[in-house]
Amino acid sequence: MAKLFINPEVKKGHVNPELQGHFSEHLGRCIYEGIYVGENSDIPNVNGMRKDVVEALKEIKVPVLRWPGGCFADEYHWKDGIGPKEKRKKMINTHWGGVVEDNSFGTHEFMELCRQLGCKTYVNGNVGSGTVQEMSEWVEYMTFKGVSPMADQRKANGHEEPWVVDYFGVGNENWGCGGNMRPEYYGDLFRRYQTYVRNYDNAHPIAKIACGANAGDYHWTEKVLETCFDHGFGFMNGLSLHYYTVPGTWEHKGSATDFSKEEWYNTMAKTMYMETLIQRHGAIMDQFDPDKKIGMMIDEWGTWYDVEPGTNPGFLYQQNTIRDALVAGINLNLFNKNCDRVKMANIAQMVNVLQSVILTEGKKMVKTPTWHVFNLYKVHQDNDLVESTLTGNTEVGLGNSKAKKLTESVTVDEKGKLYVTLTNLSLDEAETMEVALPKVKSVKGQIVTGKMDAHNTFKAPNKVQSAAFDDVTVTKDGLSFELPARSVVLLEVTLKK
Ligand code: AHR
């Protein structure tokens, strides 16, 4: 038996909606077909954006969207993606499949997508192969209201008013695909480039995000902060972190749908490594920034498997099962639990790539098990994290791949209602749960569960869905219930006044 102690009186921090953020990259069928089909498509669309996809994304309350990459960001030249579409330059997407990028989805289209989604904007600039001038002009183009060469061009291209850029990334993975730099060198470039990311609109200052580490590269975090931090917070509002769950090796990652019990537990154990990364990078950040003014922005996370058989290896298209639902539930719980430092997280990528919430095939669309977990967790957005502790949380796993069986997080909304999300990582053991929480008036639950490889296909799009989880008893001390194996559960708890 495991026991969850909840103390609603003790608030531990604010859960930024951005912890449930997304990432869209010019990669495979993410943007083209997955989101943008153009106004003349026979797929129903609004200003070129697929209606079905936008509806499904609105349902999970996408809070923020990062674009245009990824590795693509550091070879993207924004001026190629503005003005009349027929005149836009074509380029080769060298990172992702060597296909022709016709730039028909550019800045105006991204801003239109965010408008339709009602989400914040996170634009990632090009440091690897772009100039300071290019970056500076992009910010001017997007956000300057008055008369200036770039603002005039925006107006001539049909958008009189400036847009709001909520977050701006100064480069992506500059330790790798973004220029293979050393942290000291990138740190200096960050100082220089960010100087020209001007705040033209004081009502909406742009939060500047520096390129952070690849997984456990603590040296990068330390050296970048050492190089940049002395100028204080106006200088850097966030530092990114990228970490993917790869069950096998980078050469043989494993199949998304056809996997063994060992691979299940590898996936769980490797996902739980996110907790270590947050703590250790967080400890370095604490040395420079003890008041936690700089956010840890985990702006790429998710599972990464071998591509689906027969698909373009450069497109990174993968299916999504109950195993991914667990990965999503675990990570979203970890982000909530560390919301004092983690201020944004973006799952990669929103549609048709790695751990996507939506898959499309021509006119068809499916919501993945990961979508269903985001749909459960959306109730946490903008709540406060409350104190909660688990006891009796045993280990599960096989061989060297062991992980704690359960994860949890608990938040409270402004009306005092509590939201408890739980994951059970075990393949075959339910857990008897007791929740110590006085004064429960009522409880309502939902669950996402299924066989370990259960997934939604275009032929059977609703195999995995959320269902009511009613077998919860209100006791004199709180709650008691059985948490099924391979499950992600949400409990909404109303307390007596
Ligand atoms: O998500 C795919 C790629 O992974 C991104 O483009 C890059 O930033 C990371 O290496």
Query: What are the residue ranges spanned by the domains of the chain?
Result: 2-8+386-495, 16-382
Mean of the per-residue pLDDT values for the chain? 97
* Model confidence band, residue 229 (pLDDT cutoffs 50, 70, 90): confident
- State how far the Cα of 352 lies from the Cα of 354, in Å rounded to an integer: 7
> Ligand 1 centre and the CA of 109: distance in Å?
22
Burial code (b: 16+ CB inside 10 Å, e: under 16) for 168-177 equals: bbbbbbbbeb
Of the candidates 75, 137, 300, 408, the residue annotated as catalytic is: 300
DSSP designation for 351: B
Paired sense of beta strands 478-483 and 473-474, if any = antiparallel
Give distance in angstroms: CA of 317 to centre of ligand 1.
13
Give the contacts of 235 (CB within 8 A, at least 6 positions apart).
191, 194, 208, 228, 229
**What pLDDT sits at residue 497?**
86
423-481 pLDDT, tens per residue?
A: 999 999 999 999 999 999 999 999 999 999 999 999 999 999 999 999 999 999 999 99
pLDDT at 24: 98
Q: Other CB atoms closer than 10 Å to residue 309's CB: what's the count?
A: 7
**Relative to the CA of 302, which ligand 1 atom is closest?**
1
Q: Is the peptide bond before 70 cis (omega within 30 degrees of 0)?
A: yes
CA distance 264 to 245: 11
Residue 231 pLDDT > 80, yes or no? Answer: no
Report residue 167 as tokens.
């977050």
Ligand 1 contact via 70 beta carbon (within 6 Å): yes
Indicate which residue's Cα is closest to atom 3 of ligand 1: 70
CA quadruple 264, 266, 267, 271: dihedral sign: positive
Separation of CA 297 and ligand 1 centre (Å) = 15
**φ, ψ dihedrals at 315, nearest 5°:** -95, -15
170-201 pLDDT per residue, tens:
999 999 999 999 999 999 999 999 999 999 99
On the question of pLDDT at 234 being above 80, the answer is: no
Residue 68: asked if its preceding bond is cis (omega within 30°), the reply is yes
Ligand 1 neighbour 300 (Cβ under 6 A): yes
Work out which ligand 1 atom sits closest to the CA atom of 23: 1
Domains 2-8+386-495 and 16-382 share a fold: no
Side chain identity, residue 61:
K
User: pLDDT tens digit string along 305-331?
Assistant: 999 999 999 999 999 999 999 999 999
Condensed to tens digits (0 to 9), the pLDDT of residues 349-396 reads 999 999 999 999 999 999 999 999 999 999 999 999 999 999 999 999
Instruction: Assess whether the C-beta atom of 303 lies below 6 angstroms from ligand 1.
Output: no
Q: Are strands 487-495 and 440-449 parallel, antiparallel or unpaired?
A: antiparallel
State pLDDT tens for residues 482-495. 999 999 999 999 99
Determine contact, residues 68/62, Cβ cutoff 8 Å.
Answer: no
Q: How far is CA 203 from the centre of its chain?
A: 26
Tell the CATH topology of 16-382: TIM Barrel (3.20.20)
What DSSP state is assigned to residue 321?
B
Residue 27 DSSP one-character state: S
Q: Which of 25, 109, 140, 173 is catalytic?
A: 173
Does the N-terminal peptide bond of residue 349 adopt cis geometry, omega within 30 degrees of 0? yes
Counting residues of the chain whose pLDDT is more than 70, the rounded percentage is 99
User: How does pLDDT run across 18-41, given as a tens digit for each residue?
Assistant: 999 999 999 999 999 999 999 999
> Which of 353, 345, 327 has its CA nearest to residue 448?
327
Q: What is the pLDDT of residue 230?
A: 67
Does residue 74 line the site of ligand 1, with CB under 6 A? Answer: no
Q: Are 341 and 17 in contact (CB under 8 A)?
A: no
> Which of 159, 158, 175, 169 minimizes the C-alpha distance to 214?
175
Omega within 30 of 0 (cis) for the link into 116: no
DSSP state of 148: -
Block residue for tokens 């992009």? 138
Is 408 annotated as catalytic? no
By most ligand atoms within 8 Å of CB, the mutation choice from 101, 242, 318 for ligand 1 is 242
**Which residue from 123, 119, 117 is spatially nearest to 143, judged by alpha carbons?**
123
Q: Which fold has domain 2-8+386-495?
A: Immunoglobulin-like (2.60.40)
Instruction: Compute the distance between CA of residue 169 and CA of residue 166 in angstroms, rounded to an integer.
Output: 10
Q: 173 catalytic, yes or no?
A: yes
Instruction: Give percent of the chain above pLDDT 90.
Output: 98
HSE toward the beta carbon, residue 182, CA cutoff 13 A: 4
Q: Are strands 120-125 and 64-67 parallel, antiparallel or unpaired?
A: parallel
Of 193, 150, 143, 194, the residue nearest 166 (C-alpha)? 143
